[in-house]
Structure 1
Amino acid sequence: MENDFREDGSPSGTPGLSPAQARAALEGLDADGATLAERAVTPWWYHLTFGTIVAVIICTQALPSPASLITLPVALFALPVLVLVYRRRYGLWFSQPAGPRSKRIYQVMLTTILLCFGAMLVVRFTEIEYTWVLVPASVGFVAAVVLGPLYDRAFRRELAGTER
């Protein structure tokens, strides 16, 4: 029977890398991450637009039924359009946080926005005055506009390997 492993334990079909070659490959990956982090700068308008879309989605619940039925789908459709515009303009998109800090900021932002949607439903289905929907709409807008750039900075640092 033939053995598919070399004496050093590596499979015979793959070339063995020396420690120097492995270090050079890893350094190349770090350089690629730093280059990608330079390209991953989100424009000023992105988080402002995202915050506005979140606020509009929340505010639609205070609108009368026909206006709400028109405005809500338009606002929901604007979310993927925002992503598509960003992807086409900048040629990249990241769907996951790059490390622990960006993940925490992302989770806080997502949780805050989801709580705002929950508050919107409370206003919608209770006897609370509809003007109170402005509170969760404002909080959702601020969460997107403030936490979005914080997430971007943490993401770029982690992607570049300057923060782990």
Structure 2
Amino acid sequence: MENDFGDDDTASRPSPAEARQALSELAADRATLAARVITPWWYHPALGGIVALIVGTQALPFPASALTLPVALFALPTLVVVYRRRYGVWISQPTGPRSRRVFRALMVVLLLAFAAALAVRFTGVAYHWALLPAVAGFVAAVVLGPWYDDLVRRELGATQQEAR
């Protein structure tokens, strides 16, 4: 069999100087991206409000909850679209081990808040108790969200040796 790259594979490889230059350009691009991923002050309170509304709809009687929940669920992707259009970038996944841990913690708190609100809805507990998980969801988004964003920026801007 013949090699598709020809006999001399070294001709297509970059020199050590070219490789170092490419790596330094990648590091500069990572730093530029990290600088652009800045969440505005209003983002996490808005996200917290949407989360609280989604969770809190469980405290509303049937017709109101059936109307409020779709509005709240529509607000979530709207927030993402507004952010993406305004800042031109969106990071949808954790970028390293530290941001992954905070992201998982945030997801666990939000899932527990929603589960608690559902438990209130389907048990004999008074509906006003669903407001506690709604507040917990709001606080989690407002406190853990900026922490997560900070870690994402640090991990994006870190060089490979710093990340190790």
Instruction: Give the TM-score normalised by the residue count of structure 1.
Output: 0.92
Shift in CA distance, 16/110, structure 1 to aligned 2, threshold 3 Å: same
The residue number in structure 2 matching 1:68 is 65
Q: Distance in 2 between matches of 1:45 and 1:64?
A: 30
Is the counterpart of residue 155 in structure 1 residue 145 in structure 2?
Answer: no
The residue number in structure 1 matching 2:143 is 146
Correspondences of 1:56-95 after superposition (within 5 Å): 56-95=53-92
Shift in CA distance, 60/4, structure 1 to aligned 2, threshold 3 Å: closer
Letter of the aligned partner of 1:61 in structure 2? Q
The residue number in structure 2 matching 1:25 is 22
The residue number in structure 2 matching 1:46 is 43
Offset, 1:6 = 5.8
Offset, 1:95 = 1.2
The residue number in structure 2 matching 1:111 is 108
Q: Distance in 1 between matches of 2:82 and 2:39?
A: 12
SS of 1:44's equivalent? coil
Match of 2:124 among 112, 127, 132: 127
Q: Distance in 2 between matches of 1:8 and 1:90?
A: 46
> 5+ residue gaps in structure 2?
none
> 5+ residue gaps in structure 1?
none
Letter of the aligned partner of 1:121 in structure 2? L
Offset, 1:77 = 0.5
Q: Distance in 1 between matches of 2:123 and 2:81?
A: 36
Match of 1:100 among 73, 97, 110: 97
Letter of the aligned partner of 2:149 in structure 1? D
Pairwise CA RMSD of aligned residues?
Answer: 1.7
The residue number in structure 1 matching 2:31 is 34
SS of 2:124's equivalent? coil
Offset, 1:27 = 1.0
Instruction: Give the TM-score normalised by the residue count of structure 2.
Output: 0.92
Q: Distance in 1 between matches of 2:47 and 2:67?
A: 19
SS of 2:92's equivalent? coil
Q: How many percent identity over aligned positions?
A: 62
Q: Distance in 1 between matches of 2:13 and 2:52?
A: 56
Q: Distance in 1 between matches of 2:2 and 2:44?
A: 60
Offset, 1:8 = 6.5
SS of 1:146's equivalent? helix
The size of the alignment, in residue pairs, is 161
